[in-house]
Structure 1
Amino acid sequence: MADESPTLDLLERLAAAPDRMTFDALVRQIGLPEGILRGRLERLIARGWVDADADGQSFAIGVGALRPGSAYLSGDRAARVAGPILSRVRDQLDESVRLVRLDGASIVCLASRESSHDLAGPMIGRRYPTLTAASGRAIVAWRPRAEIDAMLDEGIQAHTIDSAVDRGEIYATLADCRERGWAYERGELIPGVGCIAAAVQVRGLPVTDAISVAVPLSRLTHDHAEDVAECVQRATRDLAAALVT
């Protein structure tokens, strides 16, 4: 049986890329001979998993990739139940709100509701580094210490000049989150944007999900941050309660 790992690697790289990737870039990153890579691309294009430009020299993830993602979300109870809760938070604050889940050293957005002034657009499926995002910190603050250590051992890449990368600083940030019940970051992931998040804690189950609200720093005053944190914590309690009924 042929090894499908390079094909999965190919799809994951295209999904994570901020823009279309050239054939030459894929050859370098995937490590397959050109003929084999071209053949795999052709099969994926035929099934809609990959989109090619008119010249067949640049590629992006295709609309066919929505099929397994949609199936996952349709079958995920938390993503389904969270919808009305996220809408309520968005309507109360007029800020963008997300439900995210821990996936290894990353978090992935499962559901989102955008504010009237949102510029980023839908975030479903987007991935971010766990220890840089407030939502990721809100989750791992309640995870085993060994798991946190393993993430730190892999290293943290700074996304902005404000990103915390020091191990001691990360531990202190996680301790603050556990003490007050919510995580807070200002411009560490996206310049000019802050985020407040709280974990969804269901009794007897490991913490894997969080609800977060992104706010431009121009609006993120101390009072507004307190209002957002209160709203987010209430939302996570409501979601946790709904998941056990």
Structure 2
Amino acid sequence: MADESPTLDLLERLAAAPDRMTIDALCRQIGLPEPILRGRLALLVARGWVEADAEGSSYAIGVGALRPLGAYLSADRTARLAGPILGRLRDQLGESIRLVRLDGAAIVCLAVRESAHDLGGPVVGRRFPAISAASGRAILAGRDAAELDAILAAGVRAHTADSVVDRAELDAALAECRARGVAYERGEVLPGVGCIAAAVRVDGLPVTDAISCGAPLSRLTHDHAEDIAAGVRRAADELAAAILG
């Protein structure tokens, strides 16, 4: 049986790319000869997982890639339970609210209730560095120290100009999260946007999820940040209770 890992690498590369990728760039990054790569791309295009331009020279992730995402979210009990909770908090705060999950060194958005002035755009399924995101920090603050060490040992790259990469500063941010029950970041994932998050802590289960609230920095006054912090803590506790119930 042929090794399918290059095909999976291909899908992951296209899913992570901010724009279409040329066949030359894909050949270099995937490490397959062009004829083999074109054959795999043709199959993925036929299945709808990948989209090609008219000349077949550049490619992007296709709408078919939403099928496994939709199936995953439909089967995920936590995501289903979170929907009404996220909606109520969005209405209370007037800001976008998200449920995110830790996946390796990244966080993935599972559900969102957007506000009218959301600056992040569609984010369900998108991945961001866990150590830069408030939601990732909220989760990592409750995980084993060895897991954090492994993530940091792999190297921390700045996601934006404001991303914190210094180990001492990151340790201080996690310590603050443990003390206050919420994590903060300002412009470290999306320029001009701040985020406050609380982990969903369910007795007897590892911490994997968090509820976060993102707001334009222009709106993130001290009083509003305090209201958001209290809101995400309540929402995370409500979701944890619903999971146990």
How high is the TM-score relative to the length of structure 1? Answer: 0.98
Determine the C-alpha separation between the residues in 2 that align with 1:37 and 1:157.
30
Partner of 1:11: 11
- Where 2:220 maps in the other structure, the secondary structure is coil
Determine the C-alpha separation between the residues in 2 that align with 1:191 and 1:67.
30
Determine the C-alpha separation between the residues in 2 that align with 1:81 and 1:18.
31
Matched, 1:23 2:26: no
Unmatched segments (≥5 aa) in structure 1 = none
Residue 163 of structure 1: how far off its partner (Å): 1.4
Residue 160 of structure 1: how far off its partner (Å): 2.5
Residue 118 of structure 1: how far off its partner (Å): 1.4
Determine the C-alpha separation between the residues in 1 that align with 2:160 and 2:37.
35
Equivalent residues in 2 for 1:104-119, closer than 5 Å: 104-119=104-119
Partner of 2:126: 126
- Where 2:218 maps in the other structure, the secondary structure is coil
The number of residues matched between the two structures is 245
Determine the C-alpha separation between the residues in 1 that align with 2:116 and 2:93.
10
Partner of 1:79: 79
Equivalent residues in 2 for 1:30-179, closer than 5 Å: 30-179=30-179
| Percentage of matched positions with identical amino acids | 73
Q: Deviations over 1:133-177 (max 9, x none)?
A: 000000000000000111110111112332111111111110000
Determine the C-alpha separation between the residues in 2 that align with 1:194 and 1:102.
19
Residue 94 of structure 1: how far off its partner (Å): 1.1
Partner of 1:227: 227
One-letter amino acid matched to 1:156: V
One-letter amino acid matched to 1:70: G
- Where 2:219 maps in the other structure, the secondary structure is coil
Large movers: runs of 4+ above 3 Å: none
Matched, 1:2 2:2: yes
The question of whether the paired residues in 1 share the 8 Å contact of 2:101 and 2:109 is answered with yes
The question of whether the paired residues in 1 share the 8 Å contact of 2:160 and 2:190 is answered with yes
One-letter amino acid matched to 1:160: T
Q: Deviations over 1:104-152 (max 9, x none)?
A: 0000000001101113322100000000000000000000000011111
The question of whether the paired residues in 1 share the 8 Å contact of 2:194 and 2:216 is answered with yes
CA RMSD, 1 decimal: 0.8
How high is the TM-score relative to the length of structure 2? Answer: 0.98
Determine the C-alpha separation between the residues in 1 that align with 2:18 and 2:161.
21
Residue 100 of structure 1: how far off its partner (Å): 0.3
Residue 32 of structure 1: how far off its partner (Å): 0.2
Residue 190 of structure 1: how far off its partner (Å): 1.7
